[in-house]
Structures are given as C-alpha cells and as structure tokens.
Amino acid sequence: MTVQTFTSWGNVIRKPHESAPLLNRHADFPVAPQQSSLLPYGNGRSYGDSCLNVGAALIPTRSLDRFISLDTTSGMVTCEAGILFDEMFRVIIPAGWFVPVTPGTRFVTLGGAIANDVHGKNHHAVGTIGRHVLRFELLRSDGQRLICSRTENPQLFCATIGGLGLTGIITWAQLQLRPVAGPMMSVETIRFANLDEFMRLQSESDEKFEYTVAWVDCLGTGNQLGRGWFERANHSPTSAALPQQPQRGLNIRFTPPFSLVNAASLRLFNNFYYHWPRVRRGERWFESYFYPLDSIGHWNRLYGPRGLYQYQCVIPDAAGSEGTAALLNAISRSGQGSFLAVLKGFGALESPGMLSFPRTGLTLALDFPNRGQSLERLFGELDAIVRNAGGRIYPAKDGRMPPELFRSGYPRWREFAQYIDPRCSSSFWRRVMDGA
C-alpha cells in the first residue's frame, strides 16, 4: 500500500490517500491499514468528492481493462470494470456496436459509469446506463463474489447501480450494446431565442431524434433568458472506418495562477458563440459530437488552482420550465457561471438504481469557478429553487450539497444504506450523512 495524491475533475480537493489498487479481477478485496475504510476509484471524472475518501483509502481499478467477451451478433459485451469507454470504442464500433448510453466524456470507466448510473443526451429515448446493464460481479469485503442482475441478488443490483461505489467493487459487467452503421452522427443545430423556444424544440424533437441537448447562454436576461443552441442527432446510416488514432487537440499543460473563466471572458465568449453562424445540418464524427470537451486535454486547469464546481440539478416536469427560468435568472443576476451550461429534458424511463439521479423533467448543468463565499451564496439560492420544486442534485457532479437536500432528493437513501459494504465509505457519503 502506498500513499498517493488523488483528485477529482473539479480539482477543489487534492489530498493524499492510501492507495490499494485491485490488480486483476480475481484478486482479493484489498485490506487497508488501521482498518480504515476503502472506496473504488475509476478514472476520477466525477467532479466533487463522490470518488474520494479523504483520510482513508482508495482502490484504483484501472488495471481491470480487458474485454472478456463480445457477441457480435447480439451486441452483448462483457468487460472488466476498469476499462474506459474510449478503449471499448476501438473494438465495438468496427464490430457495428455502440454503448447504449454515454456521458459527455469518453474517459470514464465502465465501473464508474455504473456506480453513477450515468445518463446521456438520449435519456428521453433509452434512460440511464443502468437499464442496459445485464449483470455484473460484485466483490464484497468479506470475500464474497456475487453475481448481480435483475433476477440474481436483485436488491444489490439496484443498490449498486448509482450506488457511488459504496456496495463493493464491480469487477466486471455485461452490457447490452446498440447497433450502429459506423462512427458518424447526423446532427442538426438550431439557434433558439429563449426558454419557450427551447421547450418547443425539445417537444418537437424528442420522438424523431435519439439525442437532444442544448447549450444555454447563462447570462441571457429578459426575453433572451435561456437563449442558446439546440442540437439534435441520430446515428448516421453511413459506414466509415474508425481512424487508427483518436484525434487529439490542445492540451492545457499547466494550471494558470488564477481562473481564466471570469465575468469578462464569459460575456465575450457567450455573445460570440451565440451569434456565430453554424452549419445547420451535417455529418460529424461521434467523438466531436459526443465529446467536444475531450479534444482539450485537462481543460479543467483553466479554472486555476482553486478549481471548479459543477452544479447539476433536475427540476421535475410540473415545475420544469418555471424552475429552470428561476435558476437562470439567479445565475445571470450573479454574473457567475461559465461557458459550459447545458440544458436537457429527461424522459420518463425509470432506472433500476435506488439512488439514480435522473427523473422526468429538465436538467441544467453549469460549471462555476470556485470563488468561495460568493459562489456558496449563489448555490444557496439555487438549492432553495431546487428544493421548492421537489428536485435534486447529481452526486457525480457535487462537492457541497447540504445533507438535508440530499436526503429530500433521494428518499430511498435509508433502503440503500442497508446494502453498503461495511468496509466502504467516501468523503461524499460522510458529508451527506452528517447528522443523519
């Protein structure tokens, strides 16, 4: 066991942890010194503290990066849990398959994606990844290896999907893929003037397009509140070979001494981006469509040494557009926020996960440079809007939500807690359970 510094994507917490890697899928559950708690760690693409265990130990899982089987006829794939989506693509796309759900970065592990029950731009069409997980093996600290599926150990299956790594280590998982002709996407891009136009575009697009999402100008006010660009897409019927090497762009090699994202740069960027003319309809590589941010390596460093927070919430359907307008008003008034502001409608397909985040409604996700107290004040305002609307915040993106907001947003937390492995804990869990 060694001591190593770990961080998450937000870079707010950067702390030494005991590191007890799982070197292969047959290895025993690691033992931590002084009986401290442990937590599986994927690729650290969660933003806050849900993948950290400060003062205790982490179990890095990236050595578990092998394919176990791929049935090219049915699209059923079994992989070790530390494999990255990026690594899966090199094999599954040439075979005519794609992951059923992908987040906005391809550098997540399969285990990490299941433990956060990730959603993508196609949530309205297919739900979260948990709906497409057929089975997995869960290694518990008492040495048991349990196969979990909807019919085998079903409660542990539901607790582990979106279970934040607290129920044990997923060593491998089996997933149902979706067929594709190749790596290209057919994409349409439409400018919209305000939130009402966004709502109209969303309802007219959801049936015909598997993927829909919008960029919003978080500084828009009045009748421009919620203006932005709407993108809708389907997998293209065109087949094309995957390039040997994925495209690599700019890499931010060092952290500047202060955040380059500030009120002035934000206003400039947003105006420019909103007014810049685009190609309205065309074919794009899947990487440039799904993962535009991945083309800038370590872009999170642009937020300077204090890092960034992401605020992602969902406002349930009944209050969706009103609640989102209230959030955008508060953000625009504060002059904080960032270029990265995403709005998407979630559909009604339910996940098996007990702590799964998505529910029918509107989800807004924004990055904020860490400005200490002024940001905490804004977050307090946003929390109140989310709470009053009966919404919730996404743990994968969170590093600060108050315990009572977690517990009201996730009413099944007590049921979930029964399935936590007695040796597992996380900084996130201790924080939201504070006083429970």
Ligand X SMILES: Cc1cc2nc3c(=O)[nH]c(=O)nc-3n(C[C@H](O)[C@H](O)[C@H](O)COP(=O)(O)OP(=O)(O)OC[C@H]3O[C@@H](n4cnc5c(N)ncnc54)[C@H](O)[C@@H]3O)c2cc1C
Q: How far is the CB of 366 from ligand X (least distance, A)?
A: 12
How far CA 164 is from CA of 61, 145, 314, 333, 383, in Å, comes to 14, 18, 18, 34, 22
What φ, ψ does residue 235 adopt, rounded to 5°? -65, 140
- Round to whole Å and give the CA distance between 96 and 92: 6
Q: How far is the CB of 161 from ligand X (least distance, A)?
A: 10
Q: Which is nearer to ligand X, 136 or 326 (CB)?
A: 136
Span of 148-156, 161-169, 198-206, 368-376 interacting with ligand X by CB under 6 A: 161-169
Give residue for tokens 């924004």.
366
Q: Which two tokens stand for residue 279?
A: 């190609």
Q: Which is nearer to ligand X, 119 or 227 (CB)?
A: 119
Q: Which is nearer to ligand X, 170 or 331 (CB)?
A: 170
Cα dihedral 146→151→154→156 (10° resolution): 20
What φ, ψ does residue 416 adopt, rounded to 5°? -60, -45
Within residues 390-419, the interface with ligand X by CB under 6 A covers 396
What φ, ψ does residue 96 adopt, rounded to 5°? 90, 25
Q: Which two tokens stand for residue 169?
A: 């280590």
Using the rule CB under 6 A, which residue among 169, 184, 382, 389 binds ligand X? 169
Backbone Cα Rg of the chain: 21
Using the rule CB under 6 A, which residue among 45, 106, 301, 392 binds ligand X? 45
Q: Which is nearer to ligand X, 2 or 244 (CB)?
A: 2
Closest CA to 116 of 79, 160, 154: 160
Span of 23-31, 165-173, 174-182, 378-386 interacting with ligand X by CB under 6 A: 165-173
Residue 225, CB-side half-sphere exposure with 13 Å CA sphere: 17
Contact flags string 373-392 toward ligand X, x per CB under 6 A: --------------------
Q: Give the DSSP per-residue string, 164-221.
A: TTTT-EEEEEEEE-EE-SSSEEEEEEEEESSHHHHHHHHHHHTTT-SEEEEEE-TT--
Using the rule CB under 6 A, which residue among 30, 44, 183, 320 binds ligand X? 44
Assess 124 for contact with ligand X (CB under 6 A).
no
- Round to whole Å and give the CA distance between 349 and 361: 11
Count the site residues for ligand X by CB under 6 A. 32
- Round to whole Å and give the CA distance between 357 and 61: 24
Assess 61 for contact with ligand X (CB under 6 A).
yes
The beta-strand segments (E) located in 44-130 are 57-60, 67-71, 76-80, 97-98
Using the rule CB under 6 A, which residue among 83, 164, 180, 331 binds ligand X? 164
Residue 237, CB-side half-sphere exposure with 13 Å CA sphere: 0
Q: Which is nearer to ligand X, 240 or 293 (CB)?
A: 293
Q: How far is the CB of 73 from ligand X (least distance, A)?
A: 28
Q: Which is nearer to ligand X, 109 or 270 (CB)?
A: 109
Within residues 241-300, the interface with ligand X by CB under 6 A covers 293
Q: How far is the CB of 195 from ligand X (least distance, A)?
A: 21
Q: How far is the CB of 333 from ligand X (least distance, A)?
A: 26
Assess 42 for contact with ligand X (CB under 6 A).
yes
Assess 115 for contact with ligand X (CB under 6 A).
yes
Three-class SS state of 432: helix
- Strands in 228-235's sheet, in edge-to-edge order, are 281-285, 184-192, 228-235, 211-216, 341-346, 361-369, 308-316, 392-393
Q: Which two tokens stand for residue 62?
A: 């990236």
Q: Which is nearer to ligand X, 266 or 342 (CB)?
A: 342
Assess 113 for contact with ligand X (CB under 6 A).
yes
Assess 165 for contact with ligand X (CB under 6 A).
yes
Assess 109 for contact with ligand X (CB under 6 A).
yes
Assess 119 for contact with ligand X (CB under 6 A).
yes
Q: How far is the CB of 220 from ligand X (least distance, A)?
A: 22
Q: How far is the CB of 211 from ligand X (least distance, A)?
A: 11
Using the rule CB under 6 A, which residue among 11, 19, 50, 356 binds ligand X? 50
Q: Which is nearer to ligand X, 43 or 212 (CB)?
A: 43
Contact residues: ligand X, CB under 6 A: 9, 39-46, 50-51, 61, 81, 103-105, 108-109, 111-113, 115-116, 118-120, 164-165, 169-170, 293, 396
